[in-house]
Amino acid sequence: MDFEIVKLAYFSPTGTTRQILKAVTEGLGAANVEHIDLTLPQAETQAPTEIRDELILLGVPVYEGRVPTTAIPRLSQLKADKTPAVIVVVYGNRNFDDALLEFHDFAKELGYLPIACGAFIGEHSFANEDRPLAIGRPDADDLKAAQEFGAQIRAKMNGLDSINEASLIKPPGNKPYREIDRSGLADRSAVTKDEDCTLCGDCALLCPVGAITIEDTVKTDNMACILCNACVKNCPTGARVVDDPMINKIANWVSRNFQARREPQTFL
């Protein structure tokens, strides 16, 4: 089975999921690559699209061992009819728990045929110099692994006369999926150090849930914030921070306990 068009659909607030999908595409060697970026709020109100015939790569980060809830309605706009799909999650070196299985099952519900799955590592959203968790990942080795995964997918597709012949895969994970308990974090958000803020507005433009408005100071809707850290990592002056005792406690604990380097895992 040949394919010329590859679509990449992703939710990627801090960009590591997007990086991995791009590297997989390089390994696939597709002539025509189309991006469907589901990161910003407008992705939710876009007209539903049916993805047909092409190969699609679907990617999300792992949040609390699961698919981020924000990504679900956005992905639901991309229905499919037996479209071959590569399912990718990217996690911050702790664990992907049930996220890959959940994403795989959800893609099937939407009409995709998952022909390959992968879990890759990206710099942890909460990483900083005090808690260096997977800093700088994906690195050159991760990107090489992602490219090799792409080449393996190409070989699998080339060996098929029709998509109906594809062996489907089942990634690791448990059902019921890991429970998400946000009770302790529900009303916490990134905040702004006014003295360092130039009111440039970058943070508001890239917030995936539209939680930020710029007035005479930066205002944040702390019930909407999903703590993705996109504003923190992209603020040009370092004015945007997540500096909450409870979040710091959890993030420091994760950093202390999950330093051992984890490697990408792929399933074909």
Nearest one of 60, 62, 57 to 116, comparing CA atoms: 57
Residue 60 near residue 17 (C-beta atoms within 8 A):
yes
Residue 235 interacting partner from ligand FMN, ligand SF4, none (CB closer than 5 to 8 Å by kind) = ligand SF4
Verify binding: residue 90, ligand FMN, rule CB under 6 A.
yes
Give least dist CB 113 to ligand FMN, A. Answer: 24
Beta strands in 125-264, from DSSP E residues, in sequence order: 191-192, 212-214, 218-220, 240-241
Verify binding: residue 95, ligand FMN, rule CB under 6 A.
yes
Interface segment toward ligand SF4; rule CB under 6 A; list 74-82, 87-95, 180-188, 229-237: 229-237
Verify binding: residue 8, ligand SF4, rule CB under 6 A.
no
Residue 112 near residue 168 (C-beta atoms within 8 A):
no
Residue 92 Cα distances to 13, 17, 145, 251, angstroms: 13, 11, 16, 11
Beta partners for residue 37, in sequence order: 10
Site string for ligand SF4, 164-203 (x = CB under 6 A): -------------------------xx-x----xxxxxxx
Omega cis (within 30) before 41 = no
Verify binding: residue 91, ligand FMN, rule CB under 6 A.
yes
Give least dist CB 186 to ligand FMN, A. Answer: 12
- Give the residue carrying structure tokens 């019921």: 176
26 three-state secondary structure: helix
Give least dist CB 268 to ligand FMN, A. Answer: 22
Site string for ligand SF4, 240-259 (x = CB under 6 A): x-------------------
Task: Tell me the C-alpha distance between 116 and 138, whole Å.
Answer: 20
Q: Which residues bind ligand FMN (CB under 6 A)?
A: 12-17, 61-65, 90-95, 122-125, 227-229
Summarize as ranges the residues that interact with ligand SF4 (CB under 6 A): 13, 189-190, 192, 197-203, 207-209, 211-212, 214, 218, 220, 225-231, 235-237, 239-240
